[in-house]
């Protein structure tokens, strides 16, 4: 395993490091988190899985991505904060699997409504893009 520098300062450098670590074969398969989708991913995860802490949310997203997503797990926390500020999720302190203090997040009723709206928007966007990309000359 190649030695990496200790000071990983940017996302790009970090991503490059991760790719170096996991071998060149990962380059083609890893894709960055599409802009603006992380909040939706977090919300859907909490809707499906119930209350989770930050690590749990990140692991679940990676699990669902099946190794195709280059996710810096730290970026989960600003997304969680955004959703909390909107009142779509609510956090409460609890104890993690390794017996440490962790903050568990759960989706709220407003969050479910927000999720439904976002899913509808996303579906509409995807179908539009699909139609556009599948059109023939």
Binding of another protein by 97 (CB under 8 A): yes
| Beta carbon of residue 17, minimum distance to another protein (angstroms, whole number) | 6
- Closest by CA position to 39, among listed 103, 94, 119, 101: 119
Q: Return the structure tokens found at 105.
A: 């997040």
Binding of another protein by 49 (CB under 8 A): no
Task: For the segment 64-93, give every residue that binds another protein (CB under 8 A).
Answer: 72-75, 77-78, 81-82, 84-87
Q: Return the structure tokens found at 27.
A: 């380059």
Q: Return the structure tokens found at 75.
A: 């970026």
Q: What does the CA dihedral 11, 16, 18, 20 come to, rounded to 10 degrees?
A: -170
Interface mask (CB under 8 A) for another protein, residues 100-129, using x and -? xxxx--------------------------
Q: Return the structure tokens found at 91.
A: 């956090």
Taking the C-alpha atoms of residue 47 and residue 121, their distance in angstroms, rounded to an integer, is 17
Which of the stretches 24-32, 33-41, 96-104, 128-136 binds another protein when contact is defined by CB under 8 A? 96-104
**Which CB atom, from 42 or from 54, has the smaller least distance to another protein?**
54
């Amino acid at each position: 395993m190649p030695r990496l520098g200790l000071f990983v300062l940017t996302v790009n450098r970090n991503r490059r490091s991760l790719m170096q670590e996991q071998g060149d074969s990962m380059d083609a398969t890893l894709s960055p988190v599409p802009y603006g989708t992380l909040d939706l991913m977090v919300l859907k995860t909490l809707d499906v899985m119930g209350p989770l802490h930050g690590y749990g949310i990140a692991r679940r997203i990676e699990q669902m991505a099946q190794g195709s997503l280059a996710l810096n797990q730290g970026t989960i926390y600003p997304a969680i904060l955004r959703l909390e500020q909107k009142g779509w999720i609510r956090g409460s302190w609890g104890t993690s699997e390794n017996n440490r203090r962790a903050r568990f997040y759960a989706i709220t009723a407003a969050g479910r409504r927000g999720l439904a709206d976002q899913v509808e928007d996303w579906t509409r966007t995807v179908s539009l893009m699909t139609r556009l990309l599948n059109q023939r000359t």
